[in-house]
Structure 1
């Protein structure tokens, strides 16, 4: 990854296109630099039509500057950007921040200009930030390389780093500062002709002033770079919280027209996030609430939830929100219950959730002691304090109590401001860094993400670097490997398959079936027929020579009827799988961003109906294989629920790992692979692919 230190912390800046024309981009950027930043380095103004602006000398060109700046901020009209970029590259400027629009987002001509801009930068060893971006905002060091008039208003320092592609949504997150949230660095990368969101995630993973990384993504151009960045963050113990737009067909079209990025499959993106511990959220509110909860405290070994309120209805509402999100109400320690029983009225609820009743709202010390006791309970991960209404002085006193209680414990107290009336109590909580969520649902959604990350973190025995499998352009042509050949390849890779043989005549089919022992399965063998069952090309449970002979006639007739164009090699005769077991599937596809991705789940006829599947980017490790198995909704059936025999989970995990290794070893040629069904027996019986479809790149085969 590129060292971005001189971009984030420059010693000198050239503003190319500096202007004194009110409200122009050049004037706004200059105003942010001179009036609202606290930059102690050199600022050079470049404008060939001016000798000075606001009392500062103007230089006619970058070439004329007395020193080479660390950054050139380019705000000239689009027609002049390439010439300025050539000048900067020729001068040896390390970084160019191009705020100007009219490139890849503006049609074919703009795309051509963008390609030329990248070529100029590459030739001169210069890195490009943008174009078509609002700039770079380093709040913690108060430096605004931006034309945004909002920069002077969004200057609350803090531990959150924000990396976005779109400027509007990024600014929306920045304005969460009005809730007291501190965002130390905002990079909005625009068209990403060169530097991408991933570069800034990687930088923030190492930045000492950034504790939590937030990213808004419309698309991911370089999967390998992105994965390296999120792995770096995970290795350094920094959570990455991601909001990926473009999940629907409508959203994908909008994202592509905006940034011209690959949006990718929503399922694949989510799988990669899950694999590397990225916390995916569903909207901006959840993004902000979750990020700030992490900024306040990292999840510890306990993840039980405590609820503290003075309203019975609110207690029930919040408890429901805990349960419906798969969270767990903590059981209070005996000493906590004893203290609550001693201090609260007899009619108060002292078990979790705590309902103090409204009577105690007049006694601030009593609230502080009881809330403090709950927040200090060793079985809790966090405490939820829903505040239903703004009740004047009473609510102000509640806010004071929450602030005082938090000072005496490390467990985060999460006050939830449920009222639309924003009073002094709310402002006090904001000033003291609580940034209260605005509803129980939103607050508990953030807590759910927080808890899930803690569980993921505890499940990791160590962080090992994963390198993507081959990311290649779409294949111009593919070919389907015969099932016989595919299973031979699997067998050579150490993957067990049932005995099988190709029969080219009816007599040969009967002989081969008798040799391997009944019962057997007969399948049409043709490179042009992938979905054999759909055309009546499979018969199972054949127990006699007569049944095999009859199967030959029936299958051949069916194939001739449905696919008269197909070349038929014969019948594949295969030993029948043992009775019982579960049918699963393992599939692999090549994603254009992340390379090969494995899909695993219920197989046979259920895969399309139930869609009980989970995904991982390849290669996977043992922890990934175990997680994929556990994530299936049907996992309890495999684990021996309701008296069922426990499935051979060890053999299943081993099979997932072997398939991953096989694909990685053949990454350049394998486009797709479908093992469906995979037979999984009881403990000790193993896991066997019963069908195997391998689709490979035809051009790769031709060159082999």
Structure 2
């Protein structure tokens, strides 16, 4: 633990990417460790961005070259000002672009031609604006960045911090502690990223890097994540995301961080329709469903927080604690009332205090005075309400207990010198340094840090200090969940057969409209190993009776039309048909209803299908999320799916183990296992359906928008898809219509 907390010593021998590292990692390293910094657009107009950035670079004593550039100035800020890159004493390395948007593209090209390796474009007026000129400039800028290969952050950003190099190319005039810390921050909003950095500093948590990415015309937040994953000085990666433009890059960056044992703590815009709209207006990002983001990113080890306060507590937790071996909690408090608050808060999060080991229980029972409590009489699992005279001994017993994975102490840091409390804190810190478990102080309410508190906190690197019980509980749960993840996430690769993929290509080539009808949908589902009901399409009532007799009664009759997506809504489904007469009547009634509909939907026939006896109706689905890519859905199905909302999501494709985990996250999964004495249902068929469906949506790329199998009927012996709807992506549908 000592080695991981001494991040500052790392910069005595600065890290450099390996020769095998990609160009993006090398470019970011050049940006954060430049030989010199050139400010293009330097001006002596008071209070402008260029002057504020220059003042910060001087204040924090950047040791490389600093060169202002402006063809209209000979001097600025009391130093020589250069007319162009060719006039500089050395070739430019990192370039700050502060000129108006219409000149920025040429500055990028000129900088690259002069030998620069990286740039930050502070200037706004690109894709965040909706007018045609701004959009044109944004396109030209992206092209210039691509052609030059320059590592570029921005435009419309507020600069960066690289503490080990004393670089602060930012307009913020608040005091910054320029010491390399274990946290790296990146995000599209400069104001939010700076607020996070300030809050962490106020809590005594060091920030090694802070990068504002703005519109992300060049480098995107996942690129920074990958770099931070490789830098050994960084322990925790914090990101603010308004949107994920490249799902593959994001997932690869998450995997790199996971493999390095570095949590990614993400504040993601888009948890509401309004939030998604704000993301679109602010940076032009295409923000998708927050549930889909969670389903895919959690698999890769991302911890999404709901707000800035929760982000700070979670970061504090991961900076100062290694993931625990298990979820066995113990706590020490001097208050019976707070004991109850702790039990309630952790129970609400699905966590409970584990029974203490026999040795620990015996020691506490011997040392505690009258009125103290060892264990919770309801669940035999709390720690202690202790007499103050044995407070420290109780904490040490908890830390030493081999049957405890996390020790929680109900206390806050003092705001002023207090000899006894300071001595006790250092004793616990030293004990925690030798323990193989997190030791966490929790203040049940938020308490402000004084300068004394901040200094004291920095002298206690081996304990976690958290504020606000609910936020602390959430962070501890995230720590436990992170510990349970696989060290490496395997690449998501479809396991479909060549025959299945060939059927997919033929089906999409022959598609005529915006959706496949039920017959075509089920044919494709069957090719991907998803069991479907016995059925055939009838053009006449006589055909319908013949099919029903061949299948065996009872049967179901359903309308087949690419123009009717929800058959039951228009009376297009008839169940429990037990005789030829009932089949004829249903055929005629459904046909008549369709002919009366507005818009004259195309009627391709009536499907006569086996009626499957079911113990449970499931929904199995998939969709192409605009932001995160292919995702699968599982849960309780039927007509009340929107009302019940018992569903869970996961990224596609899935293997069988991941499919079983997805099923286990739902109430339907509980029923499948056998609920309250009922027999277990055929889970294997649901697993097979999920794997096949996930392969299908993954193989389709961007050509299928959604797949809906509702209901998927399951009983003790089998599971069968009795309905299916595949909706094509709009672009694919238009292409199909033309051909």
Please indicate, yes or no, whether the TM-score normalized by the shorter chain is above 0.5: yes
- Match for residue 585 of structure 1? 619
- Match for residue 403 of structure 2? 379
- Match for residue 578 of structure 2? 543
Quick one: structure 1 residues 488 and 421, their matched pair in 2 at CA, closer, same or farther if it must change by over 3 Å?
Answer: closer
**Contact 1:12–1:71 (8 Å) recurs in 2:** yes
- Match for residue 336 of structure 1? 360
Secondary structure at the aligned position of 2:373 is classed as coil
**Contact 1:299–1:381 (8 Å) recurs in 2:** no
Q: CA deviation at 1:296?
A: 1.4
Deviates more, 1:344-353 or 1:673-682: 344-353
**Contact 2:128–2:284 (8 Å) recurs in 1:** yes
Quick one: structure 1 residues 407 and 515, their matched pair in 2 at CA, closer, same or farther if it must change by over 3 Å?
Answer: closer
**Contact 1:669–1:700 (8 Å) recurs in 2:** no
**Contact 1:156–1:181 (8 Å) recurs in 2:** no
Quick one: structure 1 residues 99 and 494, their matched pair in 2 at CA, closer, same or farther if it must change by over 3 Å?
Answer: same
Quick one: structure 1 residues 23 and 205, their matched pair in 2 at CA, closer, same or farther if it must change by over 3 Å?
Answer: same
Q: CA deviation at 1:310?
A: 0.6
Distance 2:400 2:41 in 1: 57
Which blocks of at least 5 consecutive residues in structure 2 are unaligned? 1-21, 376-380, 496-500, 502-510
Deviates more, 1:103-112 or 1:422-431: 422-431
- Match for residue 468 of structure 2? 439
**Contact 1:89–1:121 (8 Å) recurs in 2:** no
Verify: 1:656 aligned to 2:690, yes or no. yes
- Match for residue 530 of structure 2? 495
Verify: 1:149 aligned to 2:183, yes or no. no
- Match for residue 179 of structure 1? 203
- Match for residue 619 of structure 1? 653
Q: TM-score, normalising length from structure 1?
A: 0.91
Q: CA deviation at 1:643?
A: 0.7
Verify: 1:235 aligned to 2:236, yes or no. no
Verify: 1:528 aligned to 2:556, yes or no. no
Distance 1:382 1:478 in 2: 58
Deviates more, 1:424-433 or 1:220-229: 424-433
Quick one: structure 1 residues 421 and 51, their matched pair in 2 at CA, closer, same or farther if it must change by over 3 Å?
Answer: closer
Distance 1:594 1:485 in 2: 27
Distance 1:171 1:561 in 2: 62
Deviation readout 1:306-339 (Å, 9 max, x if unpaired): 1111111111111111101111212211111122
**Contact 2:555–2:577 (8 Å) recurs in 1:** yes
Distance 1:153 1:425 in 2: 18
Distance 2:476 2:54 in 1: 42
Verify: 1:636 aligned to 2:683, yes or no. no
Q: CA deviation at 1:35?
A: 2.6
**Contact 2:203–2:454 (8 Å) recurs in 1:** no
Secondary structure at the aligned position of 1:643 is classed as coil
Distance 1:21 1:435 in 2: 46
Q: CA deviation at 1:253?
A: 2.4
Alignment of 1:545-564 (within 5 A): 545-562=580-597
Q: CA deviation at 1:676?
A: 0.8
Secondary structure at the aligned position of 2:705 is classed as strand
Deviation readout 1:539-573 (Å, 9 max, x if unpaired): 12212112111211222222233457122222111
Verify: 1:369 aligned to 2:393, yes or no. yes
- Match for residue 127 of structure 1? 151
2:721 corresponds to which of 686, 689, 698: 689
2:637 corresponds to which of 595, 603, 619: 603
- Match for residue 575 of structure 1? 610
Secondary structure at the aligned position of 2:564 is classed as coil
Q: CA deviation at 1:620?
A: 2.0
Q: CA deviation at 1:613?
A: 0.9
Q: CA deviation at 1:668?
A: 4.8
Distance 1:547 1:344 in 2: 79
- Match for residue 451 of structure 1? 480
Deviation readout 1:445-482 (Å, 9 max, x if unpaired): 21111112222x1xx37421237999xxxxx9952212
Deviation readout 1:88-132 (Å, 9 max, x if unpaired): 133242211111223322441333322222222233332321111
Secondary structure at the aligned position of 2:659 is classed as helix
Verify: 1:284 aligned to 2:308, yes or no. yes
1:306 corresponds to which of 314, 318, 330: 330
- Match for residue 473 of structure 1? none
Verify: 1:90 aligned to 2:113, yes or no. yes
**Contact 2:124–2:155 (8 Å) recurs in 1:** yes
Q: CA deviation at 1:19?
A: 4.5
Deviation readout 1:369-418 (Å, 9 max, x if unpaired): 22011022222232221227969846556545543443442322211234
Quick one: structure 1 residues 395 and 562, their matched pair in 2 at CA, closer, same or farther if it must change by over 3 Å?
Answer: farther
Distance 2:125 2:459 in 1: 41
- Match for residue 125 of structure 2? 102
Distance 2:526 2:494 in 1: 25
Alignment of 1:134-213 (within 5 A): 134-150=158-174, 152-175=175-198, 176-213=200-237
Q: CA deviation at 1:180?
A: 0.8
Quick one: structure 1 residues 512 and 136, their matched pair in 2 at CA, closer, same or farther if it must change by over 3 Å?
Answer: same
**Contact 1:386–1:440 (8 Å) recurs in 2:** no
Quick one: structure 1 residues 390 and 14, their matched pair in 2 at CA, closer, same or farther if it must change by over 3 Å?
Answer: closer
2:88 corresponds to which of 40, 65, 72: 65
Deviates more, 1:120-129 or 1:634-643: 120-129
Secondary structure at the aligned position of 1:153 is classed as coil
Quick one: structure 1 residues 324 and 275, their matched pair in 2 at CA, closer, same or farther if it must change by over 3 Å?
Answer: same
Q: CA deviation at 1:431?
A: 4.2
Deviates more, 1:429-438 or 1:168-177: 429-438
- Match for residue 428 of structure 1? 456
**Contact 1:96–1:126 (8 Å) recurs in 2:** yes
Distance 2:699 2:413 in 1: 61
Distance 1:294 1:319 in 2: 22
Secondary structure at the aligned position of 2:169 is classed as strand
1:248 corresponds to which of 265, 272, 289: 272
Deviates more, 1:183-192 or 1:49-58: 49-58
Distance 2:467 2:597 in 1: 60
Which blocks of at least 5 consecutive residues in structure 1 are unaligned? 471-475
1:43 corresponds to which of 55, 66, 78: 66
Q: CA deviation at 1:279?
A: 0.9
- Match for residue 410 of structure 1? 436
**Contact 2:325–2:437 (8 Å) recurs in 1:** no
Distance 2:277 2:736 in 1: 35
Q: CA deviation at 1:169?
A: 1.2
